[in-house]
A and B are shown apart, each in its own frame.
Chain A
């Protein structure tokens, strides 16, 4: 708030003051008052008005500056009415009541959206559980009744792909949820990774892939949610498979290191690698990069989800890569 603008906006007061001075002076003139008396009356009126206006200005300035500063200091600005002090003046009471109303309406609105997004999430979760049942049943039917033609048709692989996408939808719903729905405990990395590799054997064996998990059985305690971590690592392994080099057989190595006192799981492949300029953007939603555009269908969702889930689990995730040599994804616990 500044004073000159205040004066401009309170022009009526100034006009009233001038009007008073002029009329009083005219009156004094007609009754034959002395010049010094006229100046004295004019000056005292002017001083009186100025002081009144300045005091009023200070009062308003204190009130608005206080609200302004508190708002600036707040992370959630709509909560400013909660920290405002009651000064007892009419202006501050009215301001407070308006801000309170705004806050209530805001939180109702937010609650509405939150309920909506929770409902969506619950629905997706239920849907995923339901769709897994016919997938299971189909898989059993192929196993029990499928002959050689069915086995060679790749039907089972297609089912596996469906399952992969369904799982991704589930974790997508989980990733943006406000509620904590994971469960941190000590996890067995070796077991998790073995499960992931076993699951992808149908893809990895024909690729003549070699798997190195020798260094994982260690004494180190890793705290995480096993199922979430399994999904994250699964996405990374899927990327390694997708971006395997055509010049050599895929080699996947999993090993633990320690950096700044944190345990780091390294997932290394010898695939096509990434351009160094593209690495910082790899975790962005929808980013497909040069590799993603050459022939391999990339949605730009996998790594984005990994990053989001890692953030929720309070892990960090980073990529190191050399184009043409391979990629190392690091998960820091």
Chain B
């Protein structure tokens, strides 16, 4: 499991962010300001290294510290990725962050879904080689199949596999996360739009049909039920 560190001076945002990440399947540690009050910059880097993180969410304006410098000294000593989070959404701050080793830059107030997508993409980029088999197995309609989260492939128990397109993969991922519940078309569209695929109604219908078809290809039929006027359901 990935362990995400949150270095943020606002207690409310920090603790809510921790809760949000935990809800979404990450281990999260909120490094509260009292833990680094009065310490020097190099000690701060030690503190972060000791936290044994897979990713660091770093606020730029911290009491007594410059987030960009922390990012720089942290990145000089480790390969752990850093995502900068700041309310100063300017081109110069973004450039400074990236130049000082940050992997991504998310302005406040952030959309939680988008933050999650950015975290996923950074993690995938950095750890894709070491965690090649990020698969998830799903039981549905009396059968089970596996989804390769990093490659976007689905495979049946008997070894038949097929590749999903980006849209199909995002739809399936959402249905799996909400398995047993009806997911509305608007919610699926929102998920796709968050991932910058601005599909319209017709495209979504086509994508759904293809996804069902691909599941049938590997022998999983009737896994997704269409609830007219309500949405879709993964049994």
B230 interface contact, C-beta 8 A: no
- Closest A residue to B12 by CB, please name it: A137
Bound: A198/B201 CA distance, A: 16
A141 interface contact, C-beta 8 A: yes
Count A interface residues, CB 8 Å. 37
B89 interface contact, C-beta 8 A: yes
B122 interface contact, C-beta 8 A: no
Docked-complex contact B88 and A129, CB < 8 angstroms? yes
Chain A residues contacting B13 (CB-CB under 8 Å) are 133, 136-137, 140
Docked-complex contact B91 and A182, CB < 8 angstroms? yes
Docked-complex contact B19 and A144, CB < 8 angstroms? yes
Chain B residues contacting A144 (CB-CB under 8 Å) are 16, 19-20, 23
Contact check: which of A135, A137, A205, A225 meets B91 at CB < 8 Å? A225
Contact check: which of B10, B89, B112, B201 meets A143 at CB < 8 Å? B112
B109 interface contact, C-beta 8 A: yes
Contact check: which of A132, A182, A213 meets B108 at CB < 8 Å? A132
Bound: A137/B19 CA distance, A: 12
Give chain B nearest CB distance to A286 CB in angstroms. Answer: 27
Chain A residues contacting B61 (CB-CB under 8 Å) are 129
Q: With A133-B10, A133-B87 as given contacts, are A201 and B193 in contact (CB-CB < 8 Å)? A: yes
A115 interface contact, C-beta 8 A: no
A10 interface contact, C-beta 8 A: no
- Closest A residue to B92 by CB, please name it: A183
Chain B residues contacting A182 (CB-CB under 8 Å) are 91
B216 interface contact, C-beta 8 A: no
B95 interface contact, C-beta 8 A: yes
Name A117-175 residues within 8 Å CB distance of B: 128-130, 132-133, 135-137, 139-141, 143-144, 159, 163
Docked-complex contact B112 and A198, CB < 8 angstroms? no
Count B interface residues, CB 8 Å. 32
User: Please, what's the 1-or-0 string for B17-33, where 1 marks a CB less than 8 Å from any CB in chain A?
Assistant: 10110010000000000
Contact check: which of B95, B193, B194, B198 meets A185 at CB < 8 Å? B95
A194 interface contact, C-beta 8 A: yes
A176 interface contact, C-beta 8 A: no
B49 interface contact, C-beta 8 A: no
Chain A residues contacting B108 (CB-CB under 8 Å) are 132-133, 135-136
Chain B residues contacting A139 (CB-CB under 8 Å) are 109-112
Chain A residues contacting B94 (CB-CB under 8 Å) are 226-227
A276 interface contact, C-beta 8 A: no
Bound: A136/B196 CA distance, A: 22
Docked-complex contact B198 and A211, CB < 8 angstroms? yes
Q: With A135-B109, A210-B200 as given contacts, are A201 and B91 in contact (CB-CB < 8 Å)? A: no
Docked-complex contact A140 and B20, CB < 8 angstroms? yes
A285 interface contact, C-beta 8 A: no
Bound: A126/B210 CA distance, A: 50
Bound: A55/B69 CA distance, A: 74
User: Please, what's the 1-or-0 string for A181-211, where 1 marks a CB less than 8 Å from any CB in chain B?
Assistant: 1110100000000100111011011101111
A: residues with CB less than 8 A from B are: 128-130, 132-133, 135-137, 139-141, 143-144, 159, 163, 181-183, 185, 194, 197-199, 201-202, 204-206, 208-211, 213, 225-228
